[in-house]
Structure 1
Amino acid sequence: MYRSGAVMAWNVFKFCTALRGLGSIMILLVLGVVGVSYYAVVITNYGPGLAAGGLDSLIAFIVLILFHCLLVMLLWSYFSVVFTDPGGVPPNWRPAVDEERGDSDPLTASEFPPESENGRIRFCRKCNQLKPPRCHHCSVCGRCILKMDHLCVWVVNCVGALNYKYFLLFLFYTFLETTLVTLSLLPHFIAFFSDGEIPGTPGTLATTFLAFVLNLAFALSVMGFLIMHISLVAGNTTTIEAYEKKTTPKWRYDLGRKRNFEQVFGMDKKYWFVPAYSEEDLRRMPALQGFEYPSKPDLDSQEF
């Protein structure tokens, strides 16, 4: 079975210098927000609070433990999305079995329109090869991406079959981390508008103010994306397929919320919250590889 997950991701901005530069800026922006937040929470406010004694020390200890645990998971998930190939179609790929025609009947490009609505196998005119189910061509990447969701400049990569879980975990841990930072810095933010004297230098106060505003903005925006993608996972669709689903009376890949969730996160619960899959899941769940997807038995003869 073809496994492209172990291969470093293509530079999806290879064909567009402007987007490549934008992607680099986005990575630096993410690291910049992390750096500002770390300085404000750990160095300026809660790190020194460990020596305060009493309840303040306990609160500072809890905040710092949570902050560092979530930060590790955030960065792990983020760079997993950046450096994991979303999944491409191997050259001269053919389905294992063509159910309608049989193995002995070769498939030719002329038999399939670019986006076939009737046959199970589609043909990409740009790549000049067959397309697996739920595969879409990315014009920026210049290739077909397995179960493509979208092209994300924040991670300088496409989000597809092999890194979609990692992207969702990145959103999840980013929301938790930014929410934690926002709440932990809220008392210090309120203090800016009080009449009392605020400890700290102008530089540390400005950093705390900036970290609060940035994390609040990210928490609110990421929450919207996270809710949207949770709904997509619940219906076993991608961002692209969500538009196709509107014109399809019955979505063939909707297997129920539990199985839909497993199609993205796997069946091994120990791996649900880490950007990785167990070897057992990779072996027994072809959907995680991006080429084969189970569907409702009564809709097997239909195609979106």
Structure 2
Amino acid sequence: MHKSGAVMAWNVFKFCRALRGLGSTTILLVLGIVGLTYYAVVINTYWPGLEAGRPEALLSLAVLILFHCLLAMLLWSYFSVVYTEPGIVPPNWRPKVDEERGDTDPLTATEFSADLKNRRIRFCRKCNQLKPPRCHHCSVCGRCVLKMDHHCLWVVNCVGALNYKYFLLFLFYTFLETSLVTLSLLPHFILFFTDDDIPGTLGTLATTFLAFVLNLAFSLSILGFLIMHVSLVTSNTTTIEAYEKTTPKWRYDLGRKRNFEQVFGTDKRYWFIPAYSEEDLRWIPALQGLEYPLKPDLDVQEL
């Protein structure tokens, strides 16, 4: 019985590692949806409306400008998540302070060995290395990730300390873009059911219909996902930590303003782009994924 359970666990992790093979496929799928939407909105619907003398020329211009601006930010955020390392544990990393006890002094060799034995300092048996605070092992990537939130197949990467902001911006701009597409194609979608003589070929009509349905579905699903992550940011919690928390007094909850700054930084000029100012990277250790200040009024014994 024990042996079969071990085999089952091994098969599960084998499947997780196999998910890495979907990488190029999911990227192509995302680009395919973007291409389909671009054809339906720009080439097939609103670009022809720019012709001189048409009454809808001003509306077409406004839709096209907004569509391309949101698309540029969406793709910038998306590929920033894809190609940014989520945060890996530095070689031979050792804790400088005992986060669990709130101790600010460096650990002695004796204290370090005792805390490791008592599991106050976490150790990853798969990576054979120590795990910093808020670090978790990803079975898909096969490595430990700093402040890991989850592994996302859509971005073919883990979402962690160094790319979480980029992931949130990807959700934000995707929601705005899909909502814009849904609203701009809604009148044409209604024509499918109210007008028997719709202009256009069967292929263009099918493309418009499919683009509307896909973008409506994505906008509704991403809205729920976005709301969930906004609540996580305001409480300074990751998706994994939300399921693991056993106490209502979360040690890393510093208040909404400081929690927000630990993800987006303090420089407002960088809040809506997938980048950080050099000053924020220098003065906010949480953006590096290794050091996180604790809630000041939290009783050490409650940790």
TM-score (norm 2): 0.88
Give the corresponding residue for 2:287.
288
1:165 and 2:170 are equivalent in the alignment: no
- Give the Cα–Cα distance (whole angstroms) in 1 for the partners of residues 296 and 258 of structure 2: 14
- Give the Cα–Cα distance (whole angstroms) in 2 for the partners of residues 146 and 196 of structure 1: 57
SS of equivalent residue, structure 2 residue 266: coil
- Structure with bigger helix share is 2
- Give the Cα–Cα distance (whole angstroms) in 1 for the partners of residues 301 and 190 of structure 2: 58
Q: Give, in angstroms, the shift of residue 112 of structure 1.
A: 2.0
- Give the Cα–Cα distance (whole angstroms) in 2 for the partners of residues 196 and 259 of structure 1: 57
Give the corresponding residue for 2:21.
21
> Can you list the C-alpha shifts for 1:180-238, whole angstroms capped at 9, x where unaligned?
00100000000111134211111111111111011111111111111110111111100
SS of equivalent residue, structure 2 residue 248: coil
- Give the Cα–Cα distance (whole angstroms) in 2 for the partners of residues 88 and 300 of structure 1: 30
Give the corresponding residue for 1:10.
none
Report if aligned partners of 1:84, 1:163 keep a CA contact under 8 Å in 2. yes
Q: Give, in angstroms, the shift of residue 123 of structure 1.
A: 2.0
Report if aligned partners of 2:236, 2:253 keep a CA contact under 8 Å in 1. yes
Distance 1:128 1:303, change over 3 A: farther
Give the corresponding residue for 2:53.
53
Distance 1:125 1:250, change over 3 A: same
- Give the Cα–Cα distance (whole angstroms) in 2 for the partners of residues 88 and 161 of structure 1: 9
- Give the Cα–Cα distance (whole angstroms) in 2 for the partners of residues 71 and 107 of structure 1: 53
Give the corresponding residue for 2:109.
105
Report if aligned partners of 1:147, 1:290 keep a CA contact under 8 Å in 2. yes
- Cα RMSD (Å) of the superposition? 2.2
- Give the Cα–Cα distance (whole angstroms) in 1 for the partners of residues 21 and 111 of structure 2: 41
Distance 1:68 1:107, change over 3 A: farther
- Give the Cα–Cα distance (whole angstroms) in 2 for the partners of residues 109 and 14 of structure 1: 33
- Give the Cα–Cα distance (whole angstroms) in 2 for the partners of residues 148 and 302 of structure 1: 26
Structure 1: gaps of 5 or more residues? 1-12
Give the corresponding residue for 1:183.
183
- Give the Cα–Cα distance (whole angstroms) in 2 for the partners of residues 106 and 15 of structure 1: 40
1:240 and 2:244 are equivalent in the alignment: no
Distance 1:84 1:160, change over 3 A: same
Q: Give, in angstroms, the shift of residue 130 of structure 1.
A: 1.6
SS of equivalent residue, structure 2 residue 47: helix
The alignment-based identity, stated in percent, is 77
SS of equivalent residue, structure 1 residue 144: strand
Give the corresponding residue for 2:213.
213
Report if aligned partners of 1:14, 1:20 keep a CA contact under 8 Å in 2. no
1:298 and 2:302 are equivalent in the alignment: no
> Can you list the C-alpha shifts for 1:226-253, whole angstroms capped at 9, x where unaligned?
11101111111000000122x1131011
Distance 1:294 1:100, change over 3 A: closer
List aligned pairs for 1:243-282, cutoff 5 A: 243-245=243-245, 247-282=246-281
Q: Give, in angstroms, the shift of residue 107 of structure 1.
A: 6.4
Give the corresponding residue for 2:8.
none
Q: Give, in angstroms, the shift of residue 297 of structure 1.
A: 1.7
List aligned pairs for 1:52-201, cutoff 5 A: 52-53=52-53, 55-98=55-98, 99=103, 102-105=106-109, 111-112=115-116, 116=119, 119=120, 121-201=121-201
What amino acid sits opposite 1:86 in the alignment? P
Report if aligned partners of 1:109, 1:123 keep a CA contact under 8 Å in 2. no
Q: Give, in angstroms, the shift of residue 108 of structure 1.
A: 5.3
Report if aligned partners of 1:14, 1:141 keep a CA contact under 8 Å in 2. no
Give the corresponding residue for 2:5.
none
Q: Give, in angstroms, the shift of residue 18 of structure 1.
A: 3.6
What amino acid sits opposite 2:116 in the alignment? F
Give the corresponding residue for 2:6.
none
What amino acid sits opposite 1:73 in the alignment? M
Aligned residues: 287
Q: Give, in angstroms, the shift of residue 15 of structure 1.
A: 9.1
Structure 2: gaps of 5 or more residues? 1-12
TM-score (norm 1): 0.88
- Give the Cα–Cα distance (whole angstroms) in 2 for the partners of residues 53 and 106 of structure 1: 83
